[in-house]
């Protein structure tokens, strides 16, 4: 995998809207994200040409969204690309993606949720990308960014040293406060005490490159040329997380069985699962992971950790796709043992 260059204070980044046009619809939320990025990391944020257009315009112009991404990659003054937010139709940009441009211009690419589509484009091009915060979500957090989040970005994007052990956040939130109400920008969300991560099964140590994304978006991508082929899953640590749609446990079960039928679970070295939105269905998801992987697939020793701090709750740690991680089921630890940047 090709690694992008690390960030330095003063670098310019492009803010990109590849799916929903939330940055244009809720400008005060976008500006808060830009403000926090400047204050905490001293980065210059420049929106892509179409990034602040309306949601309707962006919906009607998937080619323009893809072109914004390609132009940011080709601009030598841009050092990284931060996505503004996810959505539901990044998949419509796929016909307009040039994998050679991604491969020949490796840059930090950061985002989550529907941005899974773009991460799989990066993976297909052989470039490390970063599953983590977006401008309108974690960066624009009401009342200010969490310290856990700030330290995460500094560790993953500003240093060529391996991040090392990742510890759980002491608290988390997915409380809904309307982004449309500008008054909510200064009101911190209510935090929940963390009960730690859950080590569901496995007794040894597993290492492998990280690969995964948003559970539902991966389901949408199955059967396309951009979904990893079965050989790509060999030796990987699969990460999964569910969206704010809080998929029903039945849907979760059926899709897990589809992944099993594809042979994915028999290829991977381990699986990590993000805390669900509102922590809803956490117990049901855990039960189904063990049922399908251990009981139905016979993989009772495959390491599984759930309830982890990535995905749709806040704050999160970043997952560099294509980079080595370690699951230590003996000492109950998770580490990222390779840097994602140069």
Q: Does residue 124 belong to any structural domain of this protein?
A: yes
Single out the residue in 162, 182, 210 at which a domain terminates. 162
Which one of 162, 186, 205 terminates a domain? Answer: 162
pTM of the model: 0.98
- Residue 217 corresponds to which tokens in the numbers above? 């978006």
Predicted confidence at residue 278, as pLDDT, reads: 98
Is 4 part of any domain? no
pLDDT value for 102: 99
Residue 82 counted as domain residue:
yes
Whether 110 is in a domain gets the answer yes
Q: Is residue 329 part of a domain?
A: yes
Same domain, 25 and 113: yes
Give percent of the chain above pLDDT 90. 100
Instruction: Characterize the bridge pairing of strands 129-131 and 108-111.
Output: parallel
What does the alpha-carbon distance between residue 194 and residue 170 come to, in Å, rounded to a whole number?
Answer: 5
Whether residue 140 lies inside any domain: the answer is: yes
% of the chain residues with pLDDT over 70: 100
- Condensed to tens digits (0 to 9), the pLDDT of residues 196-238 reads 999 999 999 999 999 999 999 999 999 999 999 999 999 999 9
In a domain, 47, yes or no: yes
- What pLDDT is recorded for position 93? 98
Q: Does residue 124 share a domain with residue 17? A: yes
Q: Are residues 151 and 268 in the same domain?
A: no
What parts of the chain have a pLDDT lower than 70?
none
- Are 25 and 136 contained in the same domain? yes
Nearest to 166 by CA among 283, 12, 308, 302: 308
* pLDDT computed for residue 130 by the predictor: 99
Based on the structure, what is the number of domains in the chain? 2
The two three-digit tokens of residue 152, written as one number: 């995460």
Closest CA to 138 of 130, 127, 146: 146
Mean residue pLDDT across the chain: 98
Separation of alpha carbons 167 and 255, rounded Å: 29
pLDDT tens column, 166-186 = 999 999 999 999 999 999 999
pLDDT attached to residue 290: 98
Does residue 20 sit within a domain? yes
Give buried/exposed letters for 39-71 (b at 16+ CB in 10 A, else e).
ebbebebbbbebbbbebeebbebbebbbbbbeb
Residue 301 sits in which domain range?
171-336
């Amino acid at each position: 995998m090709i690694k992008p260059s690390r960030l330095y204070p003063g670098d310019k980044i492009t803010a990109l809207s590849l799916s929903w046009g939330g940055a244009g619809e809720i400008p005060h939320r976008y500006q808060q994200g830009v403000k926090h990025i400047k204050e905490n990391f001293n980065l210059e944020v420049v929106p892509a040409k179409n990034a602040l257009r309306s949601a309707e315009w962006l919906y009607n112009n998937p080619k323009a969204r893809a072109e914004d991404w390609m132009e940011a990659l080709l601009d030598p003054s841009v050092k990284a690309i931060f996505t503004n937010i996810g959505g539901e139709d990044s998949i419509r940009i796929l016909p307009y993606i040039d994998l050679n441009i991604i491969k020949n211009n490796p840059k930090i690419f950061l985002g989550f949720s529907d941005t899974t589509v773009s991460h799989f484009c990066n993976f297909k091009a052989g470039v490390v990308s970063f599953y983590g915060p977006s401008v309108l979500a974690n960066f624009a957090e009401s009342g200010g960014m969490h310290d856990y989040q700030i330290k995460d970005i500094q560790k993953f994007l500003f240093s060529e040293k391996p991040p090392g052990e990742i510890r759980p956040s002491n608290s988390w939130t997915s409380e809904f406060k309307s982004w449309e109400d500008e008054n909510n920008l200064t009101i911190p969300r209510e935090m929940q005490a963390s009960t730690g991560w859950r080590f569901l099964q496995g007794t040894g140590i597993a290492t492998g490159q990280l690969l995964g994304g948003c559970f539902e978006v991966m389901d949408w991508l199955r059967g396309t040329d951009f979904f990893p082929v079965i050989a790509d899953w060999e030796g990987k640590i699969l990460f999964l997380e569910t969206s704010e749609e809080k998929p029903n446990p039945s849907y979760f079960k059926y899709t897990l069985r589809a992944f099993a039928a594809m042979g994915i679970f028999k290829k991977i070295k381990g699986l990590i699962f993000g805390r669900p939105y509102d922590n809803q269905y956490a117990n049901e998801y855990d039960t189904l992971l063990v049922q399908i992987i251990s009981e139905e697939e016979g993989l009772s020793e495959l390491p599984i950790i759930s309830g982890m701090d990535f995905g749709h709750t806040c704050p999160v740690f970043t997952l560099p796709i294509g980079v080595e991680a370690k699951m230590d089921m003996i000492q109950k630890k998770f580490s990222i043992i390779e840097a994602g940047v140069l």
